[in-house]
């Protein structure tokens, strides 16, 4: 039966790769494809699902990116024994994070100074001896309550404009992402004991555990900035999936 234009009628009866994905995920999580199962080949599956191999390939690839499948040439597609658990945090600018909760964002510059980089900073960022840095302390408020204390160092060698820039009205982060948008970044999450600065500006007692995010960024192998974001009491960073 030589095929005639499949284009004839309207409504897609084609199986979309999203439908295929959903079905595959369901078969893995609830259905017959338990951990360790070796799936049939793409060609066979495509036939069974009534779609082209291209579509099946895309579906399998994306399910695999979700962490459920392990694919290898020749070896085939296998359901992982345990799915890869991945926590993915989008790190918006503080302003966006606060405004998303419906709160009013507030900003205040606490202190600003140009200093010679201290030893630990030089080692951490790979700065030259006697390199000058801009050191800023800033506060971010949610509905008038201190939400985050930003302790930032900017390498004046790499970004001399930072020396002239005025940070009293808006934070250095917004200026930096506009100035050096595509930098290499290293992010760390850690717990720190509250120091004097955090006690003074956040709702902490000296030595309290503080959840901190540290972000170091480089641009073309030159250190740009190092920032530690200290959060208010009880802050937790959460993701669900």
Return residues touching DNA (CB under 7 A).
5-7, 10-12, 14-19, 39, 41-43, 50-55, 57-58, 60-61, 71-77
The three-state secondary structure class of 132 is strand
Please list, in sequence order, all residues whose beta carbon lies within 8 angstroms of the beta carbon of residue 48, skipping any fewer than 6 positions away. 40
Instruction: Pull the structure tokens for residue 15.
Output: 């199986």
Please list, in sequence order, all residues whose beta carbon lies within 8 angstroms of the beta carbon of residue 201, skipping any fewer than 6 positions away. 110, 137, 139, 146, 149
Minimum distance between the CB of residue 212 and its own copies, rounded to whole angstroms?
8
Instruction: Pull the structure tokens for residue 94.
Output: 């503080």
Residue 50 interaction partner, one of its own copies, DNA, none, beta carbon < 5-8 Å per kind:
DNA
Closest CA to 235 of 98, 60, 39: 98
Assess 28 for contact with its own copies (CB under 8 A): yes
Assess 73 for contact with its own copies (CB under 8 A): no
Cβ atoms of 38 and 76 closer than 8 Å:
yes
Residue 51 interaction partner, one of DNA, its own copies, none, beta carbon < 5-8 Å per kind:
DNA
Instruction: List the one residue from 21, 93, 110, 131 that touches its own copies (CB under 8 A).
Output: 93
Instruction: Pull the structure tokens for residue 142.
Output: 């949610």
CA dist 56 and 18 (Å) reads 10
Assess 196 for contact with its own copies (CB under 8 A): no
Q: Which is nearer to DNA, 39 or 223 (CB)?
A: 39
Q: Which is nearer to DNA, 52 or 192 (CB)?
A: 52
Instruction: Pull the structure tokens for residue 102.
Output: 């419906």
CA dist 164 and 215 (Å) reads 23
Instruction: List the one residue from 1, 82, 113, 129 that touches its own copies (CB under 8 A).
Output: 82
Assess 32 for contact with its own copies (CB under 8 A): no
The contact set with its own copies (CB under 8 A) reads: 28-30, 34-35, 68, 81-93, 177-178, 181-182, 184-193, 207-212, 214, 235-241
């Amino acid at each position: 039966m030589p095929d005639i234009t499949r284009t004839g009628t309207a409504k897609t009866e084609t199986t979309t790769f999203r439908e295929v994905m959903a079905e595959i995920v369901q078969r893995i999580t609830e259905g017959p494809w338990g951990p360790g199962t070796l799936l049939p080949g793409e060609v066979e599956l495509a036939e069974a699902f009534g779609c082209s191999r291209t579509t099946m390939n895309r579906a399998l690839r994306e399910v695999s990116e979700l962490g459920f499948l392990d694919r290898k040439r020749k070896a085939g597609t296998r359901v992982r024994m345990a799915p890869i658990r991945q926590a993915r945090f989008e790190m918006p600018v503080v302003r966006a994070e606060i405004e998303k909760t419906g709160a009013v964002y507030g900003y205040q510059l606490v202190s600003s100074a140009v200093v010679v980089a201290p030893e630990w900073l030089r080692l951490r960022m790979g700065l030259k001896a006697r390199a000058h840095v801009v050191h800023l302390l800033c506060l971010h408020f949610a509905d008038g309550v201190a939400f985050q204390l930003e302790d930032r160092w900017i390498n004046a060698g790499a970004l001399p404009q930072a020396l002239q820039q005025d940070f009293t009205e808006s934070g250095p982060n917004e200026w930096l992402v506009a100035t050096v948008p595509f930098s290499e970044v290293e992010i760390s999450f850690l717990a720190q004991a509250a120091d004097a600065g955090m006690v003074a500006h956040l709702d902490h007692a000296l030595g309290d555990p503080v959840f901190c995010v540290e972000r170091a960024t480089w641009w073309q192998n030159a250190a740009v900035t190092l920032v530690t974001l200290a959060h208010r009491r009880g802050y937790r960073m959460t993701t669900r999936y």
